[in-house]
A and B are shown apart, each in its own frame.
Chain A
Amino acid sequence: MDEFDVVIVGAGPAGATAAYLLAKAGLSVVVIERGQEPGSKNVSGGLIYAQIYDEIYPNFWEEAPVERAIAGHSIVFLGDTAVTAMGYRDEATAPPYNAFSVLRARFDPWLAAQAEEAGAMVMPGFTVDELVMEDGRVTGVKAGGDELPAKVVVIAEGTRSQLLKQAGLREDYDPKDVSIGIKEVIQLPEQTITDRFQCLTADEGAAYTLVGHTAGAEGGGFIYTNRDTLSLGVVVKIDSVYKSKRHPHEILDEFKSHPFVARLINGGEVVEYSAQTVHRGGFHLIPKMVGDGYVVAGSAARLLLNNVMTLRGMDVAVASAAAAAQAIIEAKEKDDFSAAGLASYERHFQATSVYKDMQTFKNAYPLLENKRLFHVYPDMVCDIMDDMFSVRAQPAKKGYRALRDRMKEHDVSLWELAKDMVQIGKGIAI
């Protein structure tokens, strides 16, 4: 078989975007995808942040099968029965949009079609079994019994990064650095979603990040509005799942049983159950992304940005793919696909806003290890709000007194609270 310039493993956002940009630049590109169709193996919570997509695919929302433009974002603390929420919404959502909800089985085929139109060959239904290596250099892939030689292989195989593991090109993952996302897609009439989530139209949607009520596991929940479905799930650290001795679907049940969540999904019918590993996205965990004859992009390179307010994987993936494509185009000009020839990938990636954002929020990483944030504070905050808003026979307390009494009740010392405030501050504020 003729040698391609580029073989890309995986037709997700990273793989499809690298293919699109490289084919547009005139390189010969093939994308190998193990799903029956692009997207059929892919799961996300479901928000894409639009800025980088818009740069690469201008006004993509006019054509791409996005669900709703996200107008409202809320962070919700789930107490035992109460909630305390902080919300933001833009009453005049207009282009350029900030974020969209998407369903991957619909969105990813569109991305792959852009790559095909630009001249890339997309081959779904083939699993890449292994990387072909010669003297430590990747020279192609083996798929479906055939060998496909390539000048460079783009490894965009997603979070589990199986090929790199088999080839001994990555370290084992530590379960505390990876989360599991468990998700349901819940069907409701379009108008019910629009009304229930206070959207102005069916084109507009809302995103909820929820903290608390995750059965002793560290992480949080999400609810995103699609056109006529909701994406609902929890994302919790893998080590905390096996330490809690609770099955993932039981954690999901506990989350869904909270009255606030139950009300939002009331009457809905679950139409799909899915799960996916999610890297915690530590800035310090970004691996070497380049080697002789290969580059790694997207979740396969553990790229994710989580700063509580936003959980970004799909735009980070596309940013890395664009940087990789640029480096491969330069390597093609020099005809040098060694690690040195491809080294500009890391430099280009480091120049992106995504990389800078990951750096800015690198201290948000330890937050997910602080059990009090997930198992104590959500309920405590709700109790304090209860003190503020309730009229009782007992004398009322001013804020500080209420705080100290509730801290005692929840077994939190002043020292612990101070430490946690500093940690949160360093992570997302200062």
Chain B
Amino acid sequence: MTQKLLSLDDRLGLDKYEIDEQSHIKIDDTCCVNCELKPCLTVCPAEVYVWAEDKVAIRYENCLECGTCTVACEGGGEGGIDWRPPQGGFGIVFRYG
């Protein structure tokens, strides 16, 4: 009874996306450098936020649009994330939901 463990990328690979050319997420680098906790690096279920070369890099195309990052950033971080919904029809397309 062993269930094959899926990596995060395996999981994201199952999902359907309509990828926009533009990122719907913007980052205020100065906020994030000063952010001690950086909760976005932990809480995002798609690991959209990655710490690279002293700043937060975003893989917006993986976003599941759950809203966790903004809640964590507002209350536990420095408010450096500006998240807007992707333009109409773009982003994640749930087939089950």
User: B35 → chain A, closest Cβ, in Å?
Assistant: 12
A406 at interface by CB-CB < 8 Å: no
Q: Is the CB of B97 within 8 A of A162?
A: no
Among the listed B6, B8, B12, B74, which residue makes an inter-chain contact with A172, where contact means beta carbons less than 8 Å apart? B74
Q: In residues 267-286 of chain A, which contact B (Cβ within 8 Å)?
A: 268, 270-277
Among the listed B75, B76, B94, which residue makes an inter-chain contact with A105, where contact means beta carbons less than 8 Å apart? B94
Among the listed A182, A272, A277, which residue makes an inter-chain contact with B96, where contact means beta carbons less than 8 Å apart? A272
Q: How far is the CA of A240 from the CA of B67 in the complex (A)?
A: 16
User: A315 → chain B, closest Cβ, in Å?
Assistant: 17
Q: How far is the CA of A288 from the CA of B46 in the complex (A)?
A: 33
Q: Is the CB of B12 within 8 A of A273?
A: yes
Q: Is the CB of B18 within 8 A of A174?
A: no
Question: Per-position contact with A for B37-53: 1 when CB-CB < 8 Å, else 0?
Answer: 10100111111000000
User: B16 → chain A, closest Cβ, in Å?
Assistant: 9
Q: Is the CB of A238 within 8 A of B94?
A: no
Q: Is the CB of A40 within 8 A of B93?
A: yes
Q: Is the CB of A275 within 8 A of B66?
A: yes
Q: Is the CB of A175 within 8 A of B3?
A: no
Q: Is the CB of A272 within 8 A of B14?
A: yes
Q: Is the CB of B97 within 8 A of A242?
A: no
B68 at interface by CB-CB < 8 Å: yes
A144 at interface by CB-CB < 8 Å: yes
**Dominant secondary structure of chain A at its interface with chain B:** mixed
Q: In residues 43-97 of chain B, which contact A (Cβ within 8 Å)?
A: 43-47, 64-68, 70-72, 74-76, 83-89, 91-97
Q: Is the CB of B1 within 8 A of A266?
A: yes
Q: Is the CB of B42 within 8 A of A175?
A: no
Q: Is the CB of A34 within 8 A of B96?
A: no
Q: How far is the CA of A35 from the CA of B67 in the complex (A)?
A: 16
Task: For A163, give the chain B residue with the smallest CB separation.
Answer: B85
* Known interface pairs A105-B95, A105-B96, A175-B76; A238-B14 also in contact (CB < 8 Å): no
Question: Per-position contact with A for B1-24: 1 when CB-CB < 8 Å, else 0?
Answer: 111011010011011001000000
Q: How far is the CA of A350 from the CA of B66 in the complex (A)?
A: 29
A225 at interface by CB-CB < 8 Å: no
Q: How far is the CA of A39 from the CA of B94 in the complex (A)?
A: 8
Q: Is the CB of B94 within 8 A of A34?
A: no
Q: How far is the CA of A35 from the CA of B91 in the complex (A)?
A: 9
Q: Is the CB of A229 within 8 A of B96?
A: yes
Q: How far is the CA of A265 from the CA of B95 in the complex (A)?
A: 20
Sample (22) of A-B pairs whose CB atoms are under 8 Å apart: A40-B92, A41-B91, A41-B92, A42-B97, A104-B97, A106-B96, A125-B88, A126-B89, A175-B75, A178-B71, A180-B45, A180-B66, A238-B72, A238-B76, A242-B37, A247-B45, A247-B47, A249-B11, A270-B6, A270-B14, A272-B15, A274-B66
A sample of 12 more A-B contacts (CB under 8 A), given A36-B89, A180-B66, is A40-B93, A41-B65, A41-B94, A127-B88, A162-B84, A238-B76, A266-B3, A271-B14, A272-B94, A272-B96, A274-B64, A275-B46
Binding site for B on A (CB under 8 A): 34-36, 39-44, 103-106, 108, 124-127, 129, 143-144, 159-160, 162, 172-176, 178, 180-182, 184-185, 229, 238-239, 241-242, 245-249, 253, 256, 259, 262-263, 265-266, 268, 270-277
